[in-house]
Amino acid sequence: MFKILKSLSKSLGGGKTAEAKAQAASKAGGTLLDKVNKGLPAVQAGPPKSAEERCGIPAKMPKDEIRAQLKILFRRYNRSASSLDAKTRIEADQMLDAIVEVREKHFGEI
């Protein structure tokens, strides 16, 4: 029984100790978390869009359609705000800020 467990631990662990794994990860460019965080955009590319442009609201849209559009966007991005993916959370936070800005502009302060 002990031989089976020992062979399983070698096959699953690759026979490396924790220190050897850390050294191999640093040589390979970092851990998986480092690689994921490296892919995040630091600053939004291109010229910044207005809140209306980000929400897809044209200048002459009626107030009832604006309200419906904001309602749909809020539902979508409020769910995304609790995502485990950092990129999705950042985008959701930016969109929620834009939704609030448009709502306050067209319907008064909350």
* Average pLDDT score over residue span 6-31: 58
| pLDDT at site 40 | 47
pLDDT at 76 over 80: yes
pLDDT tens column, 39-69: 544 445 566 788 889 999 998 999 999 999 9
What DSSP string runs through 49-103? PPHHHHHT--TT--HHHHHHHHHHHHHHHHHHTT-S-HHHHHHHHHHHHHHHHHH
